[in-house]
């Protein structure tokens, strides 16, 4: 027992002495970077120019084949959208297999097969490699390009494009790219409905015949296969691929803006602003500054402990996350910093972004930040080596970017040797705080004037084009004039108020599923009921009655109070314009706006509690064409028809973040002034 006690005391003393010798106010110094032993990819080249890389990994009985075309970026021009269709068209069937047959054969062996405009990928179990290669080769050599499939894909593309026009992140991405690169550059051109419609079958075939050539292609094989077997397999399936001349393209390098400039897209239903601050940079994979740029970005906005994240989220609470990226590219790279913030702090957030950018360039980083960044990137690099596909990507990059053979084997040594001054020099080389494009997508009426302090504000539309100047012909027109014109256009205020009750059913299709919306209006009692059903099942219900409002969804109910209740009640009227003054709402005209090419007056109805109803009325016809609602999305009204002495829209197009595609709901049943009972609610 005595010996145990002495041993314990000695252990305690030794531990205490050890702790006393450690200065915990300083980070421990980094040890030497570990030597990375990367399995080298074996390589060979076919007579037709196809370069093959083989990474053997027999831990699992699987094999994958990645074919990549090394071509210059392409300007699509008046056919922008073409490249996004090529791969899908190649998978739409071959001369010997229909699309369904191709899909069935892939599924039967549990394989994967996909194609893009610059790649084809296939993977399967080892025992099915001949079958999957046969399918891959069939897609490569014999695509049929059926016209009906192109028609279907173009419709899907147009639907997705329509959805993206109301998605603030998509809008922000388009605008930032258009400003940073310019629309005369492959990275900045914009895909529109018109350009997608311009794409013809001959364009798809021409692209395929021009660019799918082995002499500009690489094939990476990863899995249970050695070089000897790979040579047999590749010769069997790819040796007959005929090489050919492939055109090359050059482009002027985008220049930074001469001074900070602000691009703004008005999305007045937004309660948040999407901010993106960017500029073009000269950075290519393998450049002297490339590895330093990885550390620089990690410190500035690359993770949860980065400067941007700690400032805008942890300290200021402006956003859920603020990040940055520094991208490298053969043509032109990009520096970007971005976040989504509350409307009321938009200018404050931009100020903090610019402060952090200036602070990074002027004052640099600290040794502690550098050590943490090195540890983070080294960990990610090490984990990436667990995947055999990483080795294949390293081999491809080494070839495509003409990197030294030991570039990745010595990656961590090169990174570990970088100093604080190296990173600071990279920041000064890459980033110019006085030449930034500051883009914002949000409610312009709330943020435009505040953003002017950061540079001249230019308005853009949701496709990244300069916004159309909308000027009212009559400067003296008021909200009351707009409302009066609307009521006259639909039949008059008396006719609108004569509609005391109404029952309406709208029907739509959501990705193949029937959707029904049943609505009951009771103007006399300020009551309203709505049930939304999918395939006959009620998914959501709203009830406004006796001064109370309740929303139910998936078994959960919520009572609305205050401004939410008032907002629900004014929306409960079939013709709220005929009743707003009696209900204590004011109306404000916020100018003439562009609504998908239609000049429309924006009128905001507001209560003393802050409840709002935002509608847009055509300058030409006077009819209401849009309702904005931050919670439920935007509703567009069209196909007006006369019903019981008033004009009503028979088509409602609903765009909401809650549904994947714009919802076209048609009025299939309408009753004017029917008897209303409690059962209707």
589 and 552 in one domain?
Answer: yes
Averaged pLDDT for residues 235-247: 97
Give residue 173's pLDDT band: very low, low, confident or very high (50, 70, 90): very high
Give the pLDDT confidence of 98-124 residue by residue, as tens digits.
999 999 999 999 999 999 999 999 999
588 and 546 in one domain?
Answer: yes
- 447 vs 525, residue with greater confidence: 447
Q: How many domains does the chain have?
A: 3
Q: Which two tokens stand for residue 654?
A: 């609903």
Q: Determine the pLDDT at residue 413.
A: 95
Residue-range definition of the domain harbouring residue 268: 261-390+399-460
Q: Determine the pLDDT at residue 424.
A: 98
493 and 579 in one domain?
Answer: yes
Give residue 586's pLDDT band: very low, low, confident or very high (50, 70, 90): very high
Give residue 9's pLDDT band: very low, low, confident or very high (50, 70, 90): very low
- Among residues 241, 168, 177, the alpha carbon closest in space to that of 462 is found at 168
What backbone phi and psi angles, to 5 degrees, belong to 540?
-155, 145
SS3 per residue for 239-285: CCCCCCCCCCCCCCCCCCCCCCEEEEEECCCCCEEEEEEEEEECCCC
Q: Determine the pLDDT at residue 471.
A: 78
Give the pLDDT confidence of 256-297 residue by residue, as tens digits.
999 999 999 999 888 899 999 999 999 999 999 999 999 999
Give residue 5's pLDDT band: very low, low, confident or very high (50, 70, 90): very low
Question: Is 467 within a domain?
Answer: no
What are 66's strand-pairing partners?
121, 220
Give residue 243's pLDDT band: very low, low, confident or very high (50, 70, 90): very high
Percent of the chain with pLDDT over 70: 94
Positive or negative, the CA dihedral 188, 257, 296, 72 is positive
Q: Determine the pLDDT at residue 660.
A: 66
Q: Which two tokens stand for residue 206?
A: 């021409």
Tokens 């300069």 appear where? 466
Q: Determine the pLDDT at residue 31.
A: 53
Task: Please report the DSSP string for 496-519 in residue order.
Answer: HHT--EEEEEEEEEETTEEEEEEE
654 and 529 in one domain?
Answer: yes
Domain boundary among 460, 488, 505: 460
Question: Is 243 within a domain?
Answer: no
Give residue 235's pLDDT band: very low, low, confident or very high (50, 70, 90): very high
Task: Please report the DSSP string for 603-666 in residue order.
Answer: EEEE-TT--EEEEEEETTT--EEEEE-TTT-EEEEEEEEEETTEEEEEEEEEE-TTSSS-EEEE
Percent of the chain with pLDDT over 90: 72
430 and 511 in one domain?
Answer: no
Average pLDDT over the chain, rounded to an integer = 90
Averaged pLDDT for residues 44-71: 94
H helix runs in 386-478, sequence order:
388-400, 411-416, 420-430, 444-451
442 and 293 in one domain?
Answer: yes
Helix (H) or strand (E) holding 592: strand 586-595
Question: Is 6 within a domain?
Answer: no
Angle at 23 between CA 21 and CA 25, to 5 degrees: 165
Going by the DSSP 8-state scheme, the letter that residue 673 receives in this structure is S
Task: Please say if the pLDDT value at position 663 is more than 80.
Answer: yes
Give the pLDDT confidence of 395-446 residue by residue, as tens digits.
899 998 999 989 999 999 999 999 999 999 999 999 999 999 999 999 998 9
Averaged pLDDT for residues 129-156: 96
CATH number of the domain that 573 lies in? 2.50.20
pTM, 2 dp: 0.84
Range scoring the smallest mean pLDDT among 44-58, 134-148, 517-531? 517-531
CB 610 within 8 A of CB 601: no
Question: Is 11 within a domain?
Answer: no
198 and 83 in one domain?
Answer: yes
Q: Determine the pLDDT at residue 129.
A: 96
Beta strands in 343-383, from DSSP E residues, in sequence order: none
Task: Please say if the pLDDT value at position 144 is more than 90.
Answer: yes
Q: Determine the pLDDT at residue 3.
A: 38
Over the Cα atoms of the chain, what is R_g?
31
Using CA atoms, how far apart are residues 104 and 90, in angstroms rounded to an integer? 16
200 and 134 in one domain?
Answer: yes
Angle at 589 between CA 583 and CA 590, to 5 degrees: 130
512 and 431 in one domain?
Answer: no
CATH number of the domain that 448 lies in? 3.30.830.10
Q: Determine the pLDDT at residue 62.
A: 94
Give residue 564's pLDDT band: very low, low, confident or very high (50, 70, 90): confident
Question: Is 440 within a domain?
Answer: yes
Averaged pLDDT for residues 194-204: 97
Strands 586-595 and 556-560: unpaired
211 and 170 in one domain?
Answer: yes
What are 669's strand-pairing partners?
505
Question: Is 327 within a domain?
Answer: yes
Using CA atoms, how far apart are residues 235 and 240, in angstroms rounded to an integer? 8
- Among residues 225, 216, 241, 215, the alpha carbon closest in space to that of 42 is found at 225
CB 18 within 8 A of CB 391: no
535 and 437 in one domain?
Answer: no
Q: Determine the pLDDT at residue 132.
A: 97
Give the pLDDT confidence of 326-366 residue by residue, as tens digits.
999 999 999 999 999 999 999 999 999 999 999 999 999 99
**Residue 237, SS3 per DSSP:** helix
- Among residues 9, 57, 454, the alpha carbon closest in space to that of 222 is found at 57
- 397 vs 565, residue with greater confidence: 397
Range scoring the smallest mean pLDDT among 147-151, 385-389, 643-647? 385-389
CB 671 within 8 A of CB 658: no
- 414 vs 632, residue with greater confidence: 414
489 and 450 in one domain?
Answer: no
């Amino acid at each position: 027992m005595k010996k145990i006690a002495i041993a314990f005391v000695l252990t305690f003393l030794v531990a205490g002495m050890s702790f006393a010798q450690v200065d915990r106010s300083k980070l421990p110094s980094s040890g030497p970077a570990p030597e990375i032993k990367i399995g080298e990819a074996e390589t060979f080249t076919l007579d037709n120019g196809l370069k093959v890389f083989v990474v053997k990994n027999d831990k699992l009985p699987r094999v994958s084949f990645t074919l990549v075309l090394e071509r210059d970026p392409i300007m699509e021009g008046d056919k922008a959208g073409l490249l996004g269709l090529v791969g899908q068209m190649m998978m739409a069937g071959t001369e010997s297999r229909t699309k369904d047959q191709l899909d069935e054969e892939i599924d039967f062996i549990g394989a994967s097969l996909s194609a893009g405009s610059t790649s084809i990928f296939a993977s399967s179990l080892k025992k099915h490699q001949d079958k999957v290669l046969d399918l891959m080769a069939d897609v490569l050599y014999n695509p049929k390009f059926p016209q009906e499939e192109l028609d279907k894909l173009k419709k899907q593309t147009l639907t997705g494009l329509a959805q993206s026009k109301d998605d603030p992140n998509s809008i922000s991405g388009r605008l930032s790219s258009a400003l940073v690169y310019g629309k005369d550059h492959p990275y900045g051109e914009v895909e529109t409905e018109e350009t997608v419609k311009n794409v013809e079958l001959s364009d798809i075939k021409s692209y395929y015949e021009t660019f799918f050539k082995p002499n500009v292609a690489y094939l990476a094989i990863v899995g249970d296969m050695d070089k000897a077997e790979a040579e047999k397999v590749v010769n069997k399936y790819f040796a007959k691929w005929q090489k050919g001349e492939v055109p090359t393209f050059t482009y002027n390098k985008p220049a930074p803006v001469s001074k900070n400039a602000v691009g703004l897209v008005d999305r007045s239903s937004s309660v948040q602003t999407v901010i993106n601050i960017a500029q073009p940079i000269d950075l290519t994979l393998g450049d002297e500054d490339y590895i330093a740029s990885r550390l620089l970005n990690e410190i500035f906005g690359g993770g949860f402990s980065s400067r941007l994240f700690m400032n805008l989220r942890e300290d200021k609470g402006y956003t859920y996350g603020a990040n940055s990226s520094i991208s490298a590219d053969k043509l032109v790279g990009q520096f970007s910093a971005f976040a989504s913030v509350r409307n009321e702090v938009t200018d404050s957030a931009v100020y903090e972004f610019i402060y952090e950018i200036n602070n990074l360039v002027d004052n640099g980083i600290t040794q502690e930040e550098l050590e943490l960044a090195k540890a983070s990137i080294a960990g990610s690099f090490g984990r990436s080596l667990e995947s055999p596909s990483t080795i294949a990507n390293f081999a491809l990059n080494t070839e495509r970017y003409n990197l030294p053979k030991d570039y990745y084997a010595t990656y961590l040594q090169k990174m570990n040797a970088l100093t604080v001054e190296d990173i600071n020099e990279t920041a000064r080389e890459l980033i110019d705080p006085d030449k930034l494009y500051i883009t914002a997508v949000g409610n312009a009426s709330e943020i435009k004037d505040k953003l002017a302090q950061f540079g001249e504000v230019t308005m853009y539309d949701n496709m990244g084009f300069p916004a159309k100047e909308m000027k009212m012909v009559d400067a003296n027109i008021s909200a009351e004039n707009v409302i009066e014109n609307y009521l006259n256009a639909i039949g008059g205020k008396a006719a609108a108020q004569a509609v005391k009750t109404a029952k309406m059913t709208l029907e739509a299709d959501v990705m193949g599923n029937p959707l029904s919306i049943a609505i009951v209006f009771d103007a006399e009692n300020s009551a309203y009921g709505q049930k939304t059903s999918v395939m006959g099942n009620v998914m959501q219900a709203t009830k406004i009655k006796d001064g109370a409002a309740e929303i139910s969804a998936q078994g959960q109910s919520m009572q609305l109070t205050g401004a939410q209740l008032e907002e629900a009640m004014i929306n409960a009227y079939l013709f709220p314009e005929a009743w707003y003054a009696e209900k204590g709402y004011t109306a404000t005209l916020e100018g003439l706006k562009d609504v998908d090419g239609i000049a429309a007056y924006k009128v905001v109805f507001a209560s003393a509690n802050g409840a709002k109803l935002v509608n847009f009325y055509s300058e030409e016809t006077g009819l209401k064409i849009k309702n904005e609602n931050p919670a439920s999305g935007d509703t567009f009204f069209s196909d007006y028809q006369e019903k019981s002495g008033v004009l009503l829209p028979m088509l409602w197009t609903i765009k909401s973040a809650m549904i994947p595609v714009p919802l076209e709901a048609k009025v299939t049943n309408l009753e004017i002034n029917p008897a209303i009972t409690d059962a209707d609610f």
